[in-house]
C-alpha cells in the first residue's frame, strides 16, 4: 500500500519489515506516534541501533494503513480492515489514531458490524471506541432495535444503547396544535424550545413541508426521545372536485382531511413519515405508554366540534414495529365526554403504567383508567371538586402522579390538582395565576421539578416549584406563537 509523502525535512531512517514487505519510515515519527516503537528505541535493545527491524503480529496491509497515519495523520481505513486496524492500533500503541478511527466509524458502522467493533474495542480497553459505537447506534435507536443484532444483545447492552437518547439536556418545547392564526409570525412551521438561561424561545426544527399554514390539526407525544406529530392535514378541494358532504343534502365538502403520522429524531435532526391511523380523527388525545402511542377519542375529521360524533375507538401505534392496532374503546355508556378548551377530547394522560381519562356524569368528573396488561377500562375515582365541573385545560403527568389544570368560568378561578394513583387522593396545589376559560390553549408541563403553565392568548408562561410549593412568577419572555399550542419536553 502506498504511503503518503513525508515532510522533506524529515528523512526516513528506519526500515520496518512486515511479512517481507519493507516500509521506510522516519524514526522520529515512529517514536512520537507509537509507544511501541518509543519503548523499543529507548530500551537499549539491539533493535534500537538497527536500521532494519522486523515486526511480527500483523499483516503488511494493516501496517501500511498505520504507517500512513504515522507519517500523515491520515487513517486510510477500508471496511474490510477496520477490525485489523483496531488490533494494530492496540499492538503499536497508537493512541493518537483512536480519534481518527472514531471519525471513520461514523460512515462505516452498521447493525451488521457494530458488535464486532465493540468486541475488539473492549478487548483492548478502548472505551472511546466503545462509547462511539453505542452513541452512533443509539442515535438511531428505533431503527437499530428492529434488527436481529439488537435482539441478540443482553438487556444491559440494550439499555446502554437506549440511554444515548437522553444524554443531552432536556428542554421545554412547543409546537402549534392547529396550523396558525393571523399575527402568529412568518415561520409557521417552526418548533421552539425554551432556553432558560438566555430567557429566549429558539427554533430547533421545522415541521415537514406538507405541514404548512392552516393545514394541520395534531397531537404530540415523545417516546424514547422521538417526537411524534399525529393528526390530519386539511386540503382545500376545488369546486368541481367537491364530493357530497355528510352534513346533509345539498351540502358539499370544501376540504379533504388526510391522516398523517410523523416521527422526528432530534439527535439526527431527521423527520420520517409513518403509517397513519385507521380512523381519520381530529381533536383527539395522544398518550405515550410502554413504547406505544394511544390515539384516544376525538371526532371524525370531516365534522366540527359542534356537530361531530365522538370516536369511541382507541388505536395503539407500536413505535418499534411501526404498526397500528385496536384497543378496547372508550367506555362512555353512562358517561359524557366533555371537550376541553384545549380541544383534547377527552383529556387524557399516562402515569403509573396506566392511561387516565376524564369523563363527566350527572354534573361531576370521573377518572377512568386503562390497564394494558388486562386490556380493560375501569373507574378509579371521582374527580376533584365533586358537584362542580370546571373547564379542564390539560391533563398531564409527572412520575406516578396525574395533574389536572383547569378553571371555572363562573367564579373566574383556576385550579391545579394532583392525583396519586396509589392512595387515590386528590391534592390541590397552591392556587395558580388566573387562566380564563377563553384561554383554550393553556398547557401544563413538568421539567426539573417545576411545573410550567402557559397561554398563547396572553403569551405568558408561569412556573411553579413542586418542592417549595410556590409560584416563581411570570416569565418576561412572550410565548413564541399565538393560538393553540402543544407543549412537551425533549432532549436536544
Domain-wise residue ranges, the chain: 1-108, 124-165, 166-491
State which fold the 1-108 domain adopts.
Answer: Potassium Channel Kv1.1; Chain A (3.30.710)
Q: In this predicted structure, what is the pLDDT of residue 186?
A: 56
Q: In this predicted structure, what is the pLDDT of residue 380?
A: 83
Question: What is the average pLDDT score of the chain?
Answer: 82
Q: Indicate whether this model's pTM tops 0.95.
A: no
Q: In this predicted structure, what is the pLDDT of residue 305?
A: 65
Q: Which region among 193-202, 312-321, 383-392 has the lowest average model confidence (pLDDT)?
A: 383-392
Q: Which CATH class is domain 166-491?
A: mainly beta
Report whether pLDDT(235) > 80: no
Residue pLDDT, tens place only, 451-483:
888 876 667 888 888 888 888 877 888 888 777
Q: In this predicted structure, what is the pLDDT of residue 22?
A: 92
Share of residues in the chain with pLDDT > 70 (%): 81
Residue pLDDT, tens place only, 417-434:
888 888 888 888 876 666
Residue pLDDT, tens place only, 159-194:
999 999 998 899 999 988 776 554 455 567 889 999
Report whether pLDDT(87) > 60: yes
HEC assignment per residue over the chain: CCCCCCCCCCCCCEEEEECCEEEEECHHHHHHHCHHHHHHHHCCCHHHHCCEEECCCCCHHHHHHHHHHHHHCCCCCCHHHHHHHHHHHHHHCCCCHHHHHHHHHHHHCCCCCHHHHHHHHHHCCCHHHHHHHHHHHHHCHHHHHCCHHHHCCCHHHHHHHHHHHHCCCEEEEEEECECCCCCCCCCCCEEEEEECCCCEEEEEEECCCCCCCCCEEEEEEEECCEEEEEEEEEEECCHHHCCECCCCCCCECCEEEEEEEEEEECCCCEEEECCCCCCCEECCEEEEECCEEEEECCEECCCCCCCCCECCCEEEEECCCCEEEEECCCCCCCCECCCCCCCCCCCEEEECCEEEEEEEECCEEEEEEEECCCCEEEEEEECCCCCCCCEEEEEEEECCEEEEEEEECCCCEEEEEEEECCCCEEEECCCCCCCCCCCCCCEEEEECCEEEEEECCCCEEEEEECCCCEEEEECCCCCCCCCCEEEEEEEC
Q: Which region among 86-100, 129-143, 196-210, 455-469 has the lowest average model confidence (pLDDT)?
A: 455-469
User: Would you place residue 341 in the very low, low, confident or very high pLDDT band (cuts 50, 70, 90)?
Assistant: low
Amino acid at each position: 500500500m502506498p504511503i503518503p509523502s513525508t515532510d522533506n525535512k524529515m528523512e526516513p531512517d528506519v526500515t520496518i519489515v512486515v511479512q517481507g514487505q519493507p516500509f521506510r519510515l522516519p524514526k522520529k515519527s515512529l517514536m512520537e506516534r507509537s509507544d511501541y516503537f518509543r519503548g523499543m528505541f529507548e530500551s537499549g535493545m539491539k533493535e534500537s541501533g538497527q536500521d532494519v527491524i522486523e515486526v511480527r503480529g500483523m499483516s503488511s496491509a494493516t501496517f501500511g494503513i498505520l504507517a500512513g497515519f504515522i507519517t500523515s495523520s491520515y487513517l486510510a481505513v477500508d471496511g474490510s480492515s477496520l477490525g485489523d486496524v483496531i488490533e494494530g492500533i492496540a499492538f503499536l500503541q497508537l493512541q493518537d489514531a483512536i480519534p481518527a478511527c472514531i471519525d471513520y466509524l461514523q460512515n462505516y458502522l452498521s447493525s451488521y458490524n457494530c458488535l464486532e467493533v465493540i468486541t475488539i474495542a473492549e478487548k483492548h480497553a478502548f472505551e472511546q471506541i466503545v462509547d462511539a459505537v453505542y452513541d452512533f447506534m443509539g442515535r438511531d435507536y428505533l431503527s437499530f432495535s428492529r434488527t436481529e443484532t439488537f435482539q441478540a444483545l443482553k438487556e444491559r447492552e440494550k439499555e446502554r444503547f437506549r440511554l444515548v437518547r437522553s444524554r443531552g439536556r432536556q428542554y421545554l418545547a412547543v409546537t402549534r396544535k392547529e396550523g396558525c392564526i393571523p399575527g402568529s409570525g412568518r415561520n409557521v412551521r417552526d418548533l421552539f424550545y425554551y432556553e432558560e438561561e438566555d430567557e429566549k424561545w429558539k427554533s430547533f426544527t421545522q415541521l415537514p413541508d406538507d405541514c404548512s399554514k392552516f393545514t394541520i390539526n395534531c397531537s404530540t407525544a415523545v417516546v424514547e426521545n422521538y417526537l411524534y406529530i399525529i393528526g390530519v392535514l386539511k386540503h382545500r378541494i376545488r369546486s368541481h372536485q367537491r364530493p357530497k358532504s355528510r352534513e346533509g343534502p345539498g351540502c358539499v365538502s370544501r376540504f379533504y382531511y388526510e391522516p398523517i403520522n410523523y416521527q422526528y429524531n432530534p439527535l439526527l435532526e431527521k423527520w420520517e413519515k409513518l403509517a397513519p391511523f385507521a380512523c381519520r380523527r381530529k381533536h383527539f388525545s395522544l398518550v405515550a405508554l410502554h413504547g406505544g402511542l394511544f390515539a384516544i377519542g376525538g371526532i371524525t375529521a370531516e365534522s366540527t366540534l359542534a356537530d361531530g360524533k365522538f370516536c369511541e375507538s382507541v388505536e395503539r401505534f407500536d413505535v418499534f414495529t411501526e404498526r397500528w392496532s385496536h384497543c378496547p374503546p372508550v367506555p362512555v355508556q353512562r358517561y359524557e365526554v366533555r371537550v376541553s378548551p384545549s380541544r383534547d377530547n377527552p383529556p387524557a394522560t399516562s402515569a403509573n403504567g396506566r392511561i387516565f381519562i376524564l369523563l363527566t356524569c350527572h354534573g361531576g368528573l370521573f377518572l377512568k383508567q386503562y390497564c394494558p396488561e388486562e386490556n380493560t377500562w375501569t373507574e378509579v375515582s371521582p374527580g376533584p371538586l365533586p358537584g362542580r365541573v370546571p373547564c379542564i385545560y390539560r391533563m398531564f403527568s409527572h412520575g406516578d402522579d396525574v395533574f389536572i389544570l383547569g378553571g371555572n368560568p363562573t367564579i373566574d378561578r383556576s385550579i391545579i390538582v394532583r392525583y396519586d394513583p396509589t392512595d387515590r387522593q386528590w391534592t390541590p396545589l397552591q392556587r395558580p395565576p388566573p387562566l380564563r376559560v377563553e384561554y383554550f390553549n393553556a398547557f401544563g408541563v413538568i421539567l426539573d421539578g417545576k411545573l410550567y403553565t402557559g397561554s398563547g392568548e396572553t403569551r405568558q408562561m408561569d412556573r411553579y416549584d413542586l418542592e417549595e410549593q410556590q409560584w416563581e412568577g411570570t416569565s418576561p419572555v412572550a410565548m413564541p406563537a399565538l393560538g393553540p399550542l402543544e407543549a412537551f419536553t425533549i432532549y436536544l
